Amino acid sequence: MARIEHRRVVRPLTRGRVTRDDDDPAGDPADDELDVDGAAAARRGPLATLDNLTWLGWASGGIAIGWLIIQLRPLFHAGAFAEPERLDDVVAVVRAVSSAAALALPAALERGAAKAWQRAPWLYRAAVFLALSQVATIVLDQLRERFLADVDLGDPTQPIVLVFAFASLAPAIATIGGMWALSDGLWDLGARPSRLLLRLVGGAALLITLLTYIPFLNQAISAEALLVSALNVLRIAVSLGVIAITAVAGTHLVAGAFGRRAPRVAWILAGIAGAAYLLGTFARAATGVPLPQDVLVPLFYAVFVLNAAAPVVLLLSFIAGLARSASIPVPARRLVARWVRYPAA
């Protein structure tokens, strides 16, 4: 009786290679996924990468397209972009494109890389959380316009107002979760700025914003209305959390654009998105500083454009294959025993 041991991978056979050498940051991960992202997909046509989409990706893309059409539908008339309402129409278009881009982030990530939920799980969670934040924003806006139009939302004595006030924190909380996951996902992909730099950037954004809140704390906190004061403090804390984590995530994105990471186009777009997040965060904090009107109005428009451009550029980065910087996890190898009976000599 003889015992023969050999090593083998206990997993289904896959077409092409699914891993790459992590010691070669310049290598193009797309070459390692010949079954979906590489030459085979190119031979099948430009729409072949749509096979990467799961049900969540299809739902995300479908909702984004539908919402974009709904938002742009009021502009389909002869007087659109005429001189009296041109600025309002442009703002509506920018806002519609930005919200649709946020909704489509999971679909974009799946389209850019096969099995994105496996190879970049934190990045995938970030896309889902940011999309949910936009969904929550849309739902709250529709509730306010359709069912609470006749309700004075500034009256805290009405229970419906307090319920709506607490529910309005959902988009900001989802944004915090999405930005936190985005930071962790980018760290896993190699975008690792120094922790000191992250603390400095996040702390500076938080401190500047907090200083602009100080003059209004007397109005937000009152001993006679403890519930309203608690709600205001919670709002301030969540707002500061959004600003700090957005600045940190933007720093990760900008740091990832430097170096030789591939796909290069995806990382360059990620760096542009990070710059938009950073500039938008600090510009938003600057709007709370007493400034002349001729400076404050352009600053508000700059904040609007930067905040609207960031998810659009991040969407393009996901489509370009940002998640392909990571390899598909390969199951661990284990010993498999094989017994061979020798014939009698």
pLDDT tens for residues 184-242?
999 999 899 999 999 999 999 999 999 888 887 777 776 666 777 888 889 999 999 99
Residue 336 has pLDDT above 50, yes or no: yes
Residue 329: strand, helix, or coil = coil
Please give the residue that has the higher pLDDT: either 48 or 1.
48
Residue 23 has pLDDT above 80, yes or no: no
Alpha helices, H only, 147-194: 159-167, 170-188
Which amino acid is it at 81? F
Q: Are strands 2-8 and 334-340 parallel, antiparallel or unpaired?
A: antiparallel
Residue 5: strand, helix, or coil = strand
**Each residue's pLDDT tens digit, 111-160:** 998 889 988 999 999 999 999 999 999 999 999 888 887 877 777 778 88
Mean pLDDT of 288-298: 84
Residue 29 has pLDDT above 60, yes or no: no
Residue 325 has pLDDT above 90, yes or no: no
**Tell me, what's the pLDDT at 241?**
94
**Tell me, what's the pLDDT at 163?**
86
Rounded CA gap, 319 and 105, in Å?
A: 9
Q: Which residue has 């896993």 as its token pair? A: 188
DSSP symbols for 54-89: -HHHHHHHHHHHHHHHHHHGGG-STTTT-GGGHHHH
Rounded CA gap, 282 and 207, in Å?
A: 11
Residue 100 has pLDDT above 50, yes or no: yes
